[in-house]
Amino acid sequence: MSNAWVLVGMMGVGKSAVGRALAALSDREFRDTDILLQNLLGKSVAQIFEVYGEAAFRDHEHAALRRLEPGPYVLSTGGGIVMREDNWDEMRRLGTTIYLQAEPETLVRRLSESKKKRPLLLGDEWEQRLMDLLASRQPLYAKADFHISVDGQEIDEVAAAVHRRLESA
Ligand code: S3P
């Protein structure tokens, strides 16, 4: 059975956009844990945080991973999925993990331009919160099998770089 390609990384790094481009490039299906949760609960991620809270969101996120089987698809994940050790067991069971890495300036620029509402970055001082999250999560993202930098590159270029890396592995 084919292994899944699992993208991890910070909010704003482009996991979903790169994931879709990578899926098209490699003729794989595209899946996204945030979308799985939104479909399951009939609410946006922002609403799930608002109504049920972050802890419940994280439980649903873990359950969604557990329900997946390995297969020929690309899986984009929410930025916080790396925080639970048991999520790593599930992601490794599904396939190969790829960390999409960006300089803080790239994340700030992309998030400023993004229309997606991120519950963890609401209100003032979101940039400082982003930096704190990045600092605490960096060692976790580093556990991924491959690390690919997105700085200064278009979505398609990043997808092609991930593809080359995975195909040559
Ligand atoms: C989160 C990232 C979001 C979403 C939720 C929490 C995080 O996904 O899962 O808002 O903790 O970093 P993206 O990384 O796709 O923005």
Q: Is 80 in the pocket of ligand 1 (CB under 6 A)?
A: yes
- 24 φ, ψ (degrees, to nearest 5): -65, -40
- Rounded CA-CA distance 56/41 in Å is 12
What's the pLDDT at 103? 97
Q: Which helix (H) or strand (E) holds 146?
A: strand 146-149
Q: Is 68 in the pocket of ligand 1 (CB under 6 A)?
A: no
What is the average pLDDT value for the chain, to the nearest integer? 96
Residue 3: band (very low, low, confident or very high) from pLDDT cuts 50, 70, 90: very high
How do residues 22-72 score in pLDDT, each as one tens digit? 999 999 999 999 999 999 999 999 999 999 999 999 999 999 999 999 999
Residue minimizing CA distance to atom 15 of ligand 1: 78
State the DSSP code for 143.
T
What's the pLDDT at 116? 86
pLDDT > 90? residue 17:
yes
Q: CA dist 154 to 39, 58, 114, 164, Å?
A: 29, 30, 15, 16
Q: Is 87 in the pocket of ligand 1 (CB under 6 A)?
A: no
pLDDT > 80? residue 1:
no
The arithmetic mean of pLDDT across residues 89-106, rounded, is 98
Centre of ligand 1 to C-alpha 106, Å, is 16
- 94 close to 75: Cβ distance less than 8 angstroms: yes
Residue 80: band (very low, low, confident or very high) from pLDDT cuts 50, 70, 90: very high
Residue 169: band (very low, low, confident or very high) from pLDDT cuts 50, 70, 90: confident
- Rounded CA-CA distance 82/138 in Å is 10
Q: Is 90 in the pocket of ligand 1 (CB under 6 A)?
A: no
Amino acid occupying residue 137:
R
